[in-house]
Amino acid sequence: VFLFLSLTLFTAPPDQAPDFAFFESKIRPVLVGKCYKCHSSNLPAPKGDFALDTKDGLLKGGATGVAIVPGKPGESRLLMALRYADTDLQMPPSGKLPDTVIADFEQWLAAGAPDPRTAPLASAVATAPQGMSVEEGRKWWAFQPLEVVAPPPTRDSRPAKNVIDAFIVSKLEQQGLSPSPEADPRTLVRRVYVDLVGFKPNYEEIEAFLADPSPLAYENLVDRLLASPHYGERWGRHWMDVARFGEDNPTGEATNPAYPFAWRYRDWIIEAVNQDVPYDRFVKLQLAADLIPGTPRADLRALGYLGAAPVYHKDLRLSEQVIGGFLTDDWDERIDATTRGLLAITVACARCHDHKFDPIPTADYYGLMGVFASTMRAERPLFDVEPEVETRFAWLQNRLFDLAYSVNLLTNEASTVVDSASRVARWKAEIETLKQEALGLQEKYPQLVAKLERYWSPPGQRRQADDAVNNGSRRRRNSASTEPFTNAVFEAAQYLDGSDPQFTFIHYKAGEARDMPLLKTGNLATPGEIVPRHFPTVLAQSDPSFKQGSGRLELAERIFSDAAPLAARVIVNRVWGWHMGRPLVGTPSDFGVQGEMPTHLELLDNLAARFIQHGWSLKWLHREIMMSATYGQASQPREDGVRLDVANLLVWRMNPRRLDIETYRDTLLRLSGRMNERMFGPSEDLQSPRNVRRTVYSRVSRGRQNSLLKNYDFPDAMQSAGGRDLTVTPLQQLFVMNSEFMHEAAAELAAATSSEAESDARLQFLFRRVLGREPTRRELELALDFLQGGSLEQYAQVLLSTNEEIFWP
């Protein structure tokens, strides 16, 4: 991909510091052009253990000692090497540099070797971005500190139910509008069910609410549903859109097979949402559960956010450039998912050049990339293991996979790689060594050894062999496993090793972290400065650098310290949107300049500030929103509203919507009496007619998206989704008219009417079951007419297919 982007010209302005100008014009280009190839901290093993792409590295020297002595050219071995004076130390090996260049180095060393590379962050910030500078950016609305803004006064005589209403009504009044009256109780009870538990209530549930004389009937209903386990299934699924939850990879080739334990991550989300785990902790666990002291092992499942993320296949026969492209694409995906999903900033726009609109320099992008280049996926046990053993196990998985895969590539393919036999022999020897090491764990951790066995058992013997090791793309439709493991990540720096011209290896350095070089125009072939891992500058309240390990935990923590106001605004805005049908910021994953401005900034801030005060509790936030008169409004169109604010930005009514696919399918299953309410466990195929579980338990594929989900605007799990475009298309209606699913539901309902003897009683039964209400006299007449030439089953399908059923007013 870097090749496409290479035309986007980006020229860093020269550093203005006079001390450094000489370095920039005379020294740095030589270092980059002649030395970085072998002496870069970007390499798994810099030659002579000497990396001169950072000031620290240059000063430290290498295996043979100090390379430069600032102020003393005569004592600097670097200069001796350049001069080719010593036959044992001649650099660069490709040929002696021109004398003028060597003279430049001498002059520079004599001047004390001024080197600006200690402060890449500062220099990155100092570059003039094409868009907004970091300084300007700090004034942007979304990055401001939060305060509990007092609600404005309103003329409305009705008592405001809570502060939300004051903010909404005040703006409406400014435009000469008023809120809509309260929705009728029947609409309200349906609204609350769909909203909180994800299906419409049945007739009995509706009637029970209508018959409840308590003034707290509505409040009690909300509280009861918030406590229902179905609440987590509904709101967990909202989060799964943002977390781009998927259970496999787009192509399912050897190095990017399906994730057998992704379902555990889904289950964790549902459990955590049901327990109202504070949102800050909820996110921190997904980014860094393994690094937070005292975390129960079951919470490692949360790491599916990173450990079951989409990755690209890497055929190791390809060049370092090609493999490097895929690796950086993987890391780019993590940057995109975390920054848009958690902070609504579009950091991925800064991959090739400073962000064209927002205050995000390219250095901030590569500062985050280092975090993900130091985070490697692995299957981690859910049982207790000593930390060192676990890290080694995670490393062994990755190394053994690569070795077994490579052996397979060169053995089974009609390959003519030169010296393939010697390579295979070498790799097999390493597998054998690692096998012996792993077998040492047999007594204490047989389950770990069993997990690794597939990498050394000969193909004939391994019934349980991992398909992934076999070359090719044998995609198993159901790859789910119930072994006590989970798809997670561990701390390991990844480096590319292109020293073999036929084969590219990825080295995993367990327990280590690395920084990435800034890749101008995103091009791997032109690595620039090494960028220390750090938090986006515009959000940092103090030194942005990460100090511990990969920086994953610090990233998670700073989202909720330095960037807490933004993080709170982002989730509050999403939750508002899921409740109300339109978020306050219309682009919920982009709070930048290209995004939309909030329609009610003060309201957003007020809610976000109090959300933090209430311990980041989503259930508090739900209650706050749902107890407002704004939420309880009718959704019918009004002449004045349509004329003055057709898009309902001012919220003069509730936004009427159609059900999303999960809610529609679950409602149809439940009302026809077919739903299996069992929670959790491996996913099932949505296509299977026997699958009558809630839709959230259906398999989500990134490679072969289910056509029903696809037709109903289910998001592509390849990227974090901020919202769904709810379309209406004929292909959706073909499902409604002709599918086996609808047929089964109708047949089930028709069979259930047999308890009634008369046609009108049967029809009344159907109306109650499907639409949760009595038929009108006219509807009954029409239905009886229909039965003259049609069956009850056909009529049941008519009712299931109506607009009323799929609509959510």
Partner 1 sequence: MTHPTSRRNMLRSLFGGIGGLGLASVLSREEAQASTVGHYTGPRMLSKARHVINLVLSGGPSQVDLLDPKPALARHEGQRPGSVELRTERQTGGLLPTPFQFRPRGESGIEVSEMLPQLASVIDDICVIRSMYSFNPTHTPAVSLWHTGTVLLNRPSIGSWVSYGLGSENDDLPSFVALGGGGSATRSGFLPAQHQGTPFNHSELDPVNMIPDLQNKWTDQLAQRRQLDAQQALNREYSQTFGADEYLEGRIQSMESAYRMQFAALDAFDVRKESAAIREEYGSGTFANGCLLARRLVERGVRYVHVGFSGWDDHKDLEKNYRKNCPAMDQAAAALIRDLKRRGLLDETIVVWGGEFGRTPVSESGTGRDHNPYGYTMWVAGGGFRGGLAYGATDEFGFKAIENRVSIHDLHATMLYALGMDHTRLTYRYAGRDFRLTDVLGEVVNDIIQ
Write out the binding residues for partner 1, residues 663-722 only, by CB under 8 A. Answer: 702-704, 707, 710-713, 716, 718-719, 722
Q: Which is nearer to partner 1, 171 or 514 (CB)?
A: 171
Sole window of 78-86, 267-275, 602-610, 737-745 interacting with partner 1 (rule: CB under 8 A) = 737-745
Residue 65's DSSP bridge partners are 62
The C-alpha angle with vertex 432 and arms to 430 and 437, in degrees rounded to 5, equals 95
DSSP SS3 for 808: strand
Q: Shortest gap between Cβ of 252 and partner 1 (angstroms)?
A: 10
Q: Which is nearer to partner 1, 228 or 502 (CB)?
A: 502
List, as one string, the DSSP characters of 758-783. SHHHHHHHHHHHHHSSPPPHHHHHHH
Spatial distance between the Cα atoms of 311 and 257, rounded to a whole number of angstroms = 9
The dihedral built from the CA positions of residue 388, 389, 394 and 399, taken in this order, carries a sign that is positive
The C-alpha angle with vertex 763 and arms to 760 and 768, in degrees rounded to 5, equals 125
Q: Is 336 in the site for partner 1 (CB under 8 A)?
A: yes
Site for partner 1, residues 764 to 803, rule: CB under 8 A: 776, 778-779, 782-783, 786, 789-790, 794-795, 797-799, 801-803
Q: Shortest gap between Cβ of 410 and partner 1 (angstroms)?
A: 9
Q: Is 602 in the site for partner 1 (CB under 8 A)?
A: no
Pull the structure tokens for residue 258: 């399906």
Among 1, 97, 148, 679, binds partner 1 (CB under 8 A): 1
Residue 556's DSSP bridge partners are none
Q: How far is CA 571 from the centre of its chain?
A: 14
Q: Is 525 in the site for partner 1 (CB under 8 A)?
A: no
Q: Residue count of the chain, please give it.
A: 809
Among 37, 428, 743, 773, binds partner 1 (CB under 8 A): 743
Sole window of 21-29, 212-220, 226-234, 324-332 interacting with partner 1 (rule: CB under 8 A) = 324-332
Q: Is 106 in the site for partner 1 (CB under 8 A)?
A: no
The dihedral built from the CA positions of residue 516, 519, 522 and 523, taken in this order, carries a sign that is negative
The residue to which tokens 């499942």 are assigned:
301
Q: Is 727 in the site for partner 1 (CB under 8 A)?
A: yes
Q: Which is nearer to partner 1, 44 or 581 (CB)?
A: 581
Dihedral (Cα; 315, 321, 324, 330), 10-degree rounding: -80
The residue to which tokens 């435009």 are assigned:
175
Greatest distance between any 2 Cα atoms in the chain: 109
Q: Which is nearer to partner 1, 532 or 588 (CB)?
A: 588
List, as one string, the DSSP characters of 549-563. TTSHHHHHHHHTTTT
Site for partner 1, residues 441 to 480, rule: CB under 8 A: none
Among 457, 594, 617, 764, binds partner 1 (CB under 8 A): 594
Q: What are phi and psi of 504, to 5 degrees?
A: -110, 125
Radius of gyration over alpha carbons of the chain, in Å? 31
Cis peptide bond N-terminal to 159, omega within 30: no
Q: Is 325 in the site for partner 1 (CB under 8 A)?
A: yes
Q: Which is nearer to partner 1, 474 or 547 (CB)?
A: 474
The residue to which tokens 């450039």 are assigned:
321
Sole window of 116-124, 152-160, 198-206, 410-418 interacting with partner 1 (rule: CB under 8 A) = 410-418
Q: Is 597 in the site for partner 1 (CB under 8 A)?
A: yes
Q: Shortest gap between Cβ of 222 and partner 1 (angstroms)?
A: 21
Q: Shortest gap between Cβ of 602 and partner 1 (angstroms)?
A: 15
Site for partner 1, residues 337 to 366, rule: CB under 8 A: 340, 346, 348-349, 355-358
Pull the structure tokens for residue 631: 């939420």
Q: Is 236 in the site for partner 1 (CB under 8 A)?
A: no
| Closest-CA residue to 362 (of 11, 24, 31, 26) | 11
Q: Is 253 in the site for partner 1 (CB under 8 A)?
A: yes
Among 114, 152, 185, 656, binds partner 1 (CB under 8 A): 656
Dihedral (Cα; 160, 166, 171, 177), 10-degree rounding: 0
Sole window of 25-33, 188-196, 578-586, 755-763 interacting with partner 1 (rule: CB under 8 A) = 578-586
Q: Which is nearer to partner 1, 133 or 319 (CB)?
A: 319
Among 120, 324, 361, 586, binds partner 1 (CB under 8 A): 586
Q: Is 595 in the site for partner 1 (CB under 8 A)?
A: yes
Q: Which residues of 348-380 are buried (b: 16+ CB within 10 A; e: fewer)?
A: bbbbbbbbebbbbbbbbbbbbbbbbbbbbbbbb
Q: Shortest gap between Cβ of 590 and partner 1 (angstroms)?
A: 5
Q: Is 481 in the site for partner 1 (CB under 8 A)?
A: no
Q: Shortest gap between Cβ of 583 and partner 1 (angstroms)?
A: 7
Q: Is 11 in the site for partner 1 (CB under 8 A)?
A: no
- The number of residues that bind partner 1 (CB under 8 A) is 114
| Closest-CA residue to 651 (of 712, 597, 582) | 582
The dihedral built from the CA positions of residue 361, 367, 371 and 373, taken in this order, carries a sign that is positive
Among 486, 599, 691, 695, binds partner 1 (CB under 8 A): 599
Among 119, 734, 754, 774, binds partner 1 (CB under 8 A): 734
**Amino acid (1-letter code) at residue 438:** A
Q: Shortest gap between Cβ of 437 and partner 1 (angstroms)?
A: 32
Residue 146: DSSP 8-state: P
Among 439, 724, 761, 774, binds partner 1 (CB under 8 A): 724
The residue to which tokens 């053993």 are assigned:
389
Q: Shortest gap between Cβ of 574 and partner 1 (angstroms)?
A: 11
Q: Shortest gap between Cβ of 12 and partner 1 (angstroms)?
A: 19
Among 433, 541, 613, 739, binds partner 1 (CB under 8 A): 739
Among 236, 250, 527, 632, binds partner 1 (CB under 8 A): 250
Site for partner 1, residues 132 to 171, rule: CB under 8 A: none
Pull the structure tokens for residue 519: 């890749």
Asked whether the beta carbons of 294 and 277 are under 8 A apart, the reply is no
Q: Is 577 in the site for partner 1 (CB under 8 A)?
A: yes
- Alpha helices (H) along 308-361: 320-343
Q: Which is nearer to partner 1, 309 or 488 (CB)?
A: 309
Q: Which is nearer to partner 1, 537 or 711 (CB)?
A: 711
**Amino acid (1-letter code) at residue 691:** N
Using CA atoms, how far residue 403 sits from 357, 425, 502, in Å, is 45, 11, 15
Among 191, 281, 582, 699, binds partner 1 (CB under 8 A): 582
Q: Is 412 in the site for partner 1 (CB under 8 A)?
A: no
DSSP SS3 for 352: coil
Q: Which is nearer to partner 1, 61 or 522 (CB)?
A: 522
Q: Is 751 in the site for partner 1 (CB under 8 A)?
A: no
Q: Is 406 in the site for partner 1 (CB under 8 A)?
A: no
Q: Is 548 in the site for partner 1 (CB under 8 A)?
A: no
Q: Which is nearer to partner 1, 227 or 421 (CB)?
A: 421
Compute the half-sphere exposure of residue 356: CA atoms within 13 Å on the CB side of its CA: 6
Q: Which is nearer to partner 1, 220 or 791 (CB)?
A: 791
Among 732, 748, 768, 792, binds partner 1 (CB under 8 A): 732
Q: What are phi and psi of 731, to 5 degrees?
A: -65, -30
- Alpha helices (H) along 511-563: 552-559
Q: Shortest gap between Cβ of 321 and partner 1 (angstroms)?
A: 9
The residue to which tokens 């097999």 are assigned:
428
Sole window of 222-230, 425-433, 561-569, 644-652 interacting with partner 1 (rule: CB under 8 A) = 644-652
The C-alpha angle with vertex 684 and arms to 709 and 482, in degrees rounded to 5, equals 135
Spatial distance between the Cα atoms of 371 and 243, rounded to a whole number of angstroms = 18
Q: Which is nearer to partner 1, 253 or 280 (CB)?
A: 253
Q: Is 5 in the site for partner 1 (CB under 8 A)?
A: yes
